[in-house]
Structure 1
Amino acid sequence: MHDMADHTRAESSAPTAEAPRPHRMRAVTQALDGCTAVFRHKLRAGELGSLPVILVLAVVWITFQSLNANFLSPRNLSNLSVDIVGTGLIAVGIVFVLLLGELDLSVGSISGLAAAVFAVLNVNQGVPEWLALIVAVLTGTLAGTIQGFSFARIRVPAFVVTLAGLLTWNGVMLAILGTSGTVNLDENGIVAKLTSYYFTNHAAAYGLAALGTGMVFVGSYLERRRRKGVGMPYRSLRGIAARTAVLAVITFAAAYVLNRFQGLPLALLIFLVVVAGLDIVLRRTHYGRQVYALGGGVEAARRASLSVLRVQTAVLAVSGTMAALGGLFLASRITSVSQGSGSGPLLVNAIAAAVIGGTSLFGGRGTTWSAVLGILVIQSIASGMALTDTPTAVQLVITGGVLFAAVVIDSLSRRSQEAHGRA
């Protein structure tokens, strides 16, 4: 009996796998409470980040998937990933201008002009594609530089300068195209392949997902070390790991979907590389910090001895360059350039993409990834409308409503930041 009692006491006192569970649950609960507290603090301070646009995108996808089961099919999502590139590149350039608190109304005309220059040089004049491509992009850079210099040196408002550019560059495009009005591109050429080539090897999509996730983790970790070293608030390792894990799930799921159709589109790869590169320019370079500083106030930037003329000119040059690149991708999608290139809702969609994605109209807040999220929302609405045979008028109304909501959120966020001394 004594042996049985001792054995029972030994079993009851021995450590079990279940014993630490309350401690683990407590740790998880504390972590969740901490995340909730941080979220509430950011919400009160008006620092919503990309949350609103992500919620809108989720609602759009769920709605159209319920209306048409083909919306989230690999084919449609793959086409969507290519359709966002042309306008998305233009929207990325718009982000730079919006960071200054200004607006570029000429990007649509510049995109059409660059496409026309390429088509006429290559198809009509027989200039090699690579040379015609470079000249077309430089045409956009030159147009943007001229506008930027007029804005910065002569102090003509950017709205007026780029409105004049909208008319001027459209007229130049029409003159270049001549009486024919339409030029068909070589379907086997470099530009045509920009939107028609796919990396069919599954390793390409998964490799890009792994590379992107790894770069985000390393970048976040290095940023944490830098901020910690100078005594600034920094993100915890658990927070970095959690964010990286969420990103990994999203990117690998996207890679899986793309591989179920034709693989990784070349257009999407170029788009993401350009966006990531310009994001590094904005957030990690002296020039990028100057752009944000100018968005906070031109006079304050001048008193801080910043080169306002150089930065403002460069921003409009970047916008013109991105407009030219976007125009070439749009021409690649339809393998032709016409007198209607760069017109229609292109300008409105590019500006709306930047604003819907979270770039502030008041300047000083936004990233190049804002344009990606914004154009994804706009193009998702367009794709869903096409699948459900919804009239274009309804699409415009919905896009306008989303844009208005984004502006309202931006305004309320800025007001909240001002109340907390952050704006």
Structure 2
Amino acid sequence: MTAALTPERSQTPADPGPPGKNAANGDTRLRSIARAYVDRVRGGELGALPAALGLIVLCIFFAVLRPVFLSELNFANLLTQGAGSIVIAMGLVFVLLLGEIDLSAGYASGVCAAVLAILLTDNGWPWYGAVGAAILTGTVIGLLLGVLVAKMGIPSFVVTLAAFLGFQGIVLMLLKEGTNISIQDRTILAVANNNLSPALGWVLLALSVAGYAAIQFRQNRNRAQRSLTTAPPTLLAVRIGSLAVLGAVAVQLLNQERSRNVVVDSLKGVPIVVPVVVVLLVAGTFVLQRTSFGLHFYAVGGNAEAARRAGINVAAIRIAAFVICSSLAAVGGIIAASRGNSVDPNTGGSNVLLLAVGAAVIGGTSLFGGRGRAMDAVLGGMVVAVIQNGMGLMGYSSGVKYAVTGSVLLVAAGIDALSRRRSAQR
């Protein structure tokens, strides 16, 4: 049980050795880390590797067939197009980690978006009050679902399927059986439609890289103080350098002028929704990997009975998972309302849930519980967005897009099942 509650760490004492051997020791540790990773992959612990490779292949494929795919305008569209589904998928990761499912997350986001629009447009609330009410609505929804699942013992599939139908009805009632409510608040509209200034984009990138570097060095120092194996300087440099280079390329690309008529309107800079997603990603990663509360999700998902015997409040963890999921669904609904400039009965409906679940699973989160990260939602969401966007540029119909996305989801689920079977056989 201890292993289930503790992140994977080598227990080999750190031994820096004589000064003259530091470089050799660093190279040896680097090779050891690489061998350990290869061994984990061979053993079935693929993690997000298939999603990352798939994303690269898809980008190359569409770039070759449609060079416009790599244009600044399309790159920005990709990021804003997938943001709502990615945020909802982040919440679903918490539920999937427990081996549960939430089929109502899409329409829960629609209910929260409707609350936002009604308070803003019909009641004249300030944006921060309406946003707070929308997120509180999501929290209450998650609390209700969690209690039904954890306390009453109703299977999550049944509870959330009933909620899926019920929330669809609530959206219709809130919108008076089909009314479209336009959003006029500039702050809300800016979330998915406006961009940061080019200078601010660089500042945020510098702060992000500096923060990531500080976390890496602090983690290394803490491990050294506990006589655990530390990452060699070369590996730290690769991690930090990769983030800096990829971020710099993205910011530079997004800072290019994307407007087709600069005289009418200038369009450049990082979309505001991108730092919103990054903040949620950092928060979700910290909770899951750096807190005992987050580690309890892995423990319960891996073996609920063993977690209960270890003193973990399994019911509370299950309730918390649904609360987090629905709260993030509310944020996803706010992003969708901003992107559409309005809320209608289709907000949160249609393929929203399917794309969000697909994003989490394609990114590497297991449907069987106990395996997943917040980053999986981002990778999987980008894979889905690239498929939808690239096939749209190639002129394929919605039917073909859905068929291809479904096939990719099936492949991801198959890889997950095979990897778990292989891990069990070791």
Q: How does 1:217-232 map to 2 (within 5 A)?
A: 217-232=213-228
Contact 2:178/2:345, CA 8 A, preserved across alignment: no
| Cα distance between partner residues in 1 of 2:299 and 2:89 | 21
Match of 1:408 in 2: 414
| Cα distance between partner residues in 2 of 1:49 and 1:106 | 26
Give the Å deviation of 1:241: 1.6
The letter for the 1-side match of 2:108 is I
The letter for the 2-side match of 1:198 is N
- Shifted more, 148-157 versus 205-214: the winner is 205-214
Q: Is residue 152 of structure 2 the alignment partner of residue 134 of structure 1?
A: no
Match of 2:67, SS state, is: coil
Give the Å deviation of 1:361: 1.2
Match of 2:68, SS state, is: coil
Contact 2:172/2:178, CA 8 A, preserved across alignment: no
- Shifted more, 236-245 versus 309-318: the winner is 236-245
Match of 2:168 in 1: 170
Q: Is residue 196 of structure 2 the alignment partner of residue 196 of structure 1?
A: no
Give the Å deviation of 1:230: 3.5
| Cα distance between partner residues in 2 of 1:34 and 1:155 | 46
Match of 2:141 in 1: 143
Q: How does 1:15-414 map to 2 (within 5 A)?
A: 37-186=35-184, 188-200=185-197, 202-261=198-257, 262-414=268-420
1:417/1:212 CA distance change after superposition, 3 Å: farther
The letter for the 2-side match of 1:237 is P
Give the Å deviation of 1:33: 5.9
| Cα distance between partner residues in 1 of 2:352 and 2:333 | 10
| Cα distance between partner residues in 1 of 2:164 and 2:384 | 23
- Shifted more, 242-251 versus 52-61: the winner is 242-251
| Cα distance between partner residues in 1 of 2:208 and 2:378 | 15
Match of 1:255, SS state, is: helix
| Cα distance between partner residues in 2 of 1:371 and 1:384 | 19
| Cα distance between partner residues in 1 of 2:228 and 2:44 | 20
Normalised TM-score (structure 2) = 0.87
Give the Å deviation of 1:231: 4.5
| Cα distance between partner residues in 1 of 2:56 and 2:171 | 39
The letter for the 2-side match of 1:107 is A
Match of 2:69, SS state, is: coil
Unaligned runs of 5+ in 1: 1-25
The letter for the 1-side match of 2:212 is V
The letter for the 1-side match of 2:385 is Q
Match of 1:305, SS state, is: coil
| Cα distance between partner residues in 2 of 1:148 and 1:93 | 13
| Cα distance between partner residues in 1 of 2:38 and 2:131 | 49
Match of 1:97, SS state, is: helix
1:30/1:280 CA distance change after superposition, 3 Å: closer
Give the Å deviation of 1:355: 0.6
1:231/1:75 CA distance change after superposition, 3 Å: same
| Cα distance between partner residues in 2 of 1:416 and 1:212 | 37
The letter for the 1-side match of 2:363 is G
| Cα distance between partner residues in 1 of 2:296 and 2:389 | 38
Match of 2:425 in 1: 419
Q: 1:309-332 CA deviation, whole Å, 9 max, x = no partner?
A: 221111100101011110111111
| Cα distance between partner residues in 2 of 1:218 and 1:71 | 35
| Cα distance between partner residues in 2 of 1:192 and 1:113 | 18
1:175/1:56 CA distance change after superposition, 3 Å: same
1:236/1:416 CA distance change after superposition, 3 Å: farther
Match of 1:6 in 2: none
| Cα distance between partner residues in 2 of 1:121 and 1:28 | 58
Match of 1:264, SS state, is: coil
The letter for the 1-side match of 2:186 is G
| Cα distance between partner residues in 1 of 2:232 and 2:422 | 26
Q: 1:386-421 CA deviation, whole Å, 9 max, x = no partner?
A: 21111111111211121112112212222222233x
The letter for the 2-side match of 1:252 is A
Q: How many aligned positions are there?
A: 395
Q: 1:82-108 CA deviation, whole Å, 9 max, x = no partner?
A: 112111110000001011111110101
Give the Å deviation of 1:212: 2.3
1:252/1:163 CA distance change after superposition, 3 Å: same
The letter for the 1-side match of 2:71 is S
- Shifted more, 163-172 versus 188-197: the winner is 188-197
Contact 1:93/1:319, CA 8 A, preserved across alignment: yes
Contact 1:80/1:379, CA 8 A, preserved across alignment: yes
Give the fraction of aligned pairs with identical amino acids, expressed as a percent: 37
| Cα distance between partner residues in 2 of 1:295 and 1:226 | 28
| Cα distance between partner residues in 1 of 2:353 and 2:186 | 27
Normalised TM-score (structure 1) = 0.88
| Cα distance between partner residues in 1 of 2:53 and 2:82 | 19
Contact 1:205/1:258, CA 8 A, preserved across alignment: no
1:229/1:33 CA distance change after superposition, 3 Å: closer
Match of 1:362, SS state, is: coil
Give the Å deviation of 1:176: 0.9
Match of 1:104, SS state, is: coil
Match of 1:199, SS state, is: coil
